[in-house]
Chain A
Amino acid sequence: MTSAPPPRVSRRRPGPLRGRSVPATATRVTIAVLSSVAVLAACAGPPGTGTGAPGASYALSAGTPKPKGDIDSFTWAVYAEPPTLDYTVAFDYPQNTILSNVCESLMRWTPGLTLEPGLAEKATNPDPKTWVYDLRSGVRFHDGRTMTADDVVFSLGRQTDPNNAAAWAQNFQNVASVRKTGPLQVTVKLKKPDSQFPQYMATAAGVVASKAGVTAAGKDYGTSGGLACTGPFELGTWQKGQSLELDRFDGYWGKRAKAGKVVFRFLTDPSARTNALLSGEADGGYLIPTESYARLKGSGAGTLYFGEGLSTVNVNITNIKGPLGDVRVRQALSLALDRTGFVKAGLGGAGTVTNSLTTRAAWAGASEETRKAAFAGLPPTERDIEKARALVEQAGATGKTLTVATSSIGQDVSLLATAVQAAGSRIGLNINLKSVAPNAFTALFTDPEARERIDMFPLTYYDSITDPLDLLTNFRTGAYLNFAGYSDKRYDELVDRATATYDRDSRLRIETELQKRAAEQLPWIPVAEWPTALFLNKRITGAPTTIAYMYYPWAADVGAAP
């Protein structure tokens, strides 16, 4: 029979007699048990005291120590490769982290999160519907040309060109015209007063690139060749899928960059990123995986800093046609969420629970009175399961099924989804989790089909300007991130009024109204304030700690550590 295995001979060696080996066996068993217990203890966290995951303390740093001098090059870890570096579609972390060093805007967002002149040395507002930008003279592009008003008109024009599908188009909705009014002067005429427009001129919305350079690159602009911008670094070698290099631009108009070269390495796997930082393969990085905070802190390889992030972690409600259409169900979910637990486990302890969609720092320019008004009267962050369950019952939603998207993109996403599911199951809702692949997660923002059969998903939102309206405007009827189609006439009116108000405190007073309405209506459920995290190893220092790195040429400040 062909199937029968060949005859086999026992290979067992004769052992010691059973009776004699008892003491030795007992010792071995004891050692085995003891070592198992030791291994178990070494592998596990501290016993459940309710204090949660380790590393639960953090303090914000205003900045990092000044470098002692120049450095040849340094390597930076980023979590994803940008599909393109065209400034008109730069709306996510990886693009802007790189682009901010290559392309500059009319205004500049400083590490202290204030506005200062950028490529425009002066911005004036002769009447509420006019902004005049006087440009710096002698600013050179990476392609050798000199910046003129024509380049500014062309660059801003690209943002409103429907063929470009620019991510920043909605910030130009009140712009009537952008005209050259002098060799180095550009005048922006607005359809109605817009307090946000001048602020956005410090983001990628206000980037100026060489008209000739962009036109020459054509469709390849952003993906191959240079970016024809003015920043302290110019685009070097881009090895797709691996790394991207920036080389110091010697013709830079401002302070010369301290590093000759910056190498960005694309490390999508969180543990690979952490290991690269620990081994020195990467010298630093923003957006550190929260589960690695403790390892990086304790490693001695460098320093982990936290800075003002103007970021809140929220649950984005994407469907209000189902049970979530009833505000009581949204309120119930908010009441049942374990925010404290989420901050401890999901954000590695570095975060603050909140019931406000906007961060406290976003209200920086407000008077004490306005700031108090913004945060007074918000619902408490403590859980109240009984009340939440009663609300669900009142809404007749008990037993209804909801779906929340989750992804292994990071603990802030996966554990928030788990927390929402746990909250729902405790108040009588049936919540399913739907896994989305990490690279498909961005599609939730751009593709309505990807949001089908999903009722909510975890969303971290960062302000691009130091103004709470940046977030609050998202609940205006028809806004880009208003996926659920939330619509409230009074809310829209308030947004319009705030937008039209230039005086900061008066505007922020109107925004307190918006803040209150958003807290009552919960178009998104706020969970926590999340600071930026920055790791720098012992070789380098100087990078800003705040979210300003998205639009500020931070890499130019990085030099050799003392």
Chain B
Amino acid sequence: MSTVLTRRPGLAKLRVRSGRSPLHLVCLGLVASVVLAALLAPWIAPHDPNAVDLGAALAGPSAEHPFGVDAAGRDTLSRLLLGARTSLLGPLGVVAFSTLAGVAIGTAAAWRGGWLDSLLSRATELVFAFPGMLLAVLVISVYGEGLLAPVVALGLAYLPYVSRLTRSLVLAERARPYVSAYRVQGHSALQICLRHILPNIAPVVLAQSTINFGYALMDLAGLSFLGLGVPPLTPDWGRMVFDGQTAVQHGYPLSAILPCLFVVLTVVAFNVVGERWADRVARRDR
């Protein structure tokens, strides 16, 4: 399944695979701090992210507003911190949904084989053929704004990546002697899959999901930038870039550049961490 892991080959250049890579450590630190910021945002944000001060719109950095304020006079730092919540919660939903459903479908297809395999594989390939972003735009236009609709749509779009990976992993595991041994001992298929195969394939699937997390973050930010998805008042990085368009026109694009930077850095961090995990799993002596 090298197609999955090298879906966006450009990022491969950022991989550093030696034992103690500083890039990996930096990225790990970044992931940890973004997650921490998201968790602690309500307590560490210096201002109410929706407190408007139109009189001070687009003001530059100061002691009170270290990252300045946006076109509506809202504190950029507070919005970035609170924005980390929606910006991470969305991809988390996408990854959780696609991983759970993908593993279930992939395992069922590989274990049972035959017509079920054909049916599930063709069905997921059908989803593959439909661009995820378009699917999300379609779902949002039907169900209106909110985080749930784009998350479910993107979750569906990401599902085939996980299910195909799982299918191939389970196919390989199924052929191993320990599985035959369990079968001979009379263990049920469900028991073997849940207790023995799943723990064995989990690291690879989770590594893939970590990489998917970065992509989902980028896709959701893209949807927010188009004005779709999260409602207007919700602090969200993609939405902040969307709101920052007028700031760019004013000639003071800081409030648009910072969320862009956060999206890029977080996506890169998740990719580096995920790919390194994948590398470590791949090198593991099986």
Contact = CB atoms under 8 A, between A and B. Distances in A.
Interface stretch (B91-99, B147-155, B165-173, B178-186): B165-173
Contacts of A418: 52, 54, 72
B51 A422 contact: yes
Interface string B1-40: 1100110000000011110010000000000000000000
Interface string B226-267: 010001110000000010011111111110010000000000
Interface in B20-79: 21, 50-62, 64-65, 68-69, 71-73
Contact of A5 (B54, B168, B254, B278): B278
The secondary-structure label for the interface of chain A is mixed
Contacts of A17: none
A7 B246 CA distance: 48
B252 A43 contact: yes
Interface stretch (A141-149, A187-195, A301-309, A339-347): A339-347
Contacts of B159: none
A430 to B, nearest CB: 11
Interface stretch (A50-58, A80-88, A158-166, A314-322): A50-58
Contact of B252 (A2, A44, A52, A417): A44
Given A1-B172, A3-B172, A291-B250, A52 B55 contact: yes
B54 A419 contact: yes
B204 interface: yes
Contacts of B195: none
A406 B2 CA distance: 46
A323 to B, nearest CB: 19
A49 to B, nearest CB: 7
A346 B54 contact: yes
A338 B52 contact: yes
A295 B249 contact: yes
B117 interface: no
Contacts, number: 165
A61 interface: no
Contact of B61 (A47, A51, A338, A340): A47
A52 B57 contact: yes
B68 A345 contact: no
Interface in B155-202: 165, 168-169, 171-172
A395 interface: no
Contacts of A345: 54-55, 57-58, 71-73
Contact of A341 (B55, B64, B242): B55
B254 A44 contact: yes
B90 to A, nearest CB: 17
Contacts of A408: 227, 242, 245
Contacts of B62: 47-48
B254 A289 contact: no
Given A3-B172, A40-B254, A418-B72, A271 B2 contact: no
Given A415-B71, A422-B50, A48 B168 contact: no
B54 A338 contact: yes
B58 A45 contact: yes
Nearest to B76: A44
B282 interface: yes
Contact of B232 (A6, A406, A437): A406
Contacts of B50: 421-422, 425
Nearest to A41: B60
The secondary-structure label for the interface of chain B is loop
Contacts of A289: 249
Nearest to A404: B232
A274 B249 contact: yes
A52 B56 CA distance: 4
B18 A342 contact: no
Given A1-B286, A8-B17, A411-B246, A45 B60 contact: yes
A342 B54 contact: yes
B227 A341 contact: no
Nearest to A274: B249
Contact of A43 (B15, B65, B73, B257): B257
Given A46-B59, A48-B64, A1 B169 contact: yes
A48 B257 contact: no
Nearest to A39: B257
Given A433-B232, A435-B227, A338 B55 contact: yes
A45 B251 CA distance: 8
B55 A50 contact: yes
Interface in B81-134: none
Question: Which of A294, A341, A434 gathers most chain B CB within 10 Å?
Answer: A341
A26 interface: no
Given A2-B1, A8-B17, A274-B249, A48 B54 contact: no
Nearest to B15: A8
A271 B72 contact: no
Contact of A435 (B17, B145, B249): B145
Contacts of B286: 1
Contact of A2 (B64, B168, B233, B242): B168
B231 A4 contact: no
B215 to A, nearest CB: 17
A363 B159 CA distance: 65
Closest 5 CB pairs of A and B: A341-B54, A48-B59, A44-B60, A422-B52, A345-B57
6 contacts: A2-B168, A295-B249, A338-B54, A415-B54, A418-B72, A419-B72
Given A49-B56, A50-B56, A421-B50, 13 more contacts: A1-B286, A5-B2, A8-B279, A41-B61, A44-B59, A44-B60, A46-B59, A48-B69, A52-B56, A291-B246, A338-B55, A408-B245, A418-B54
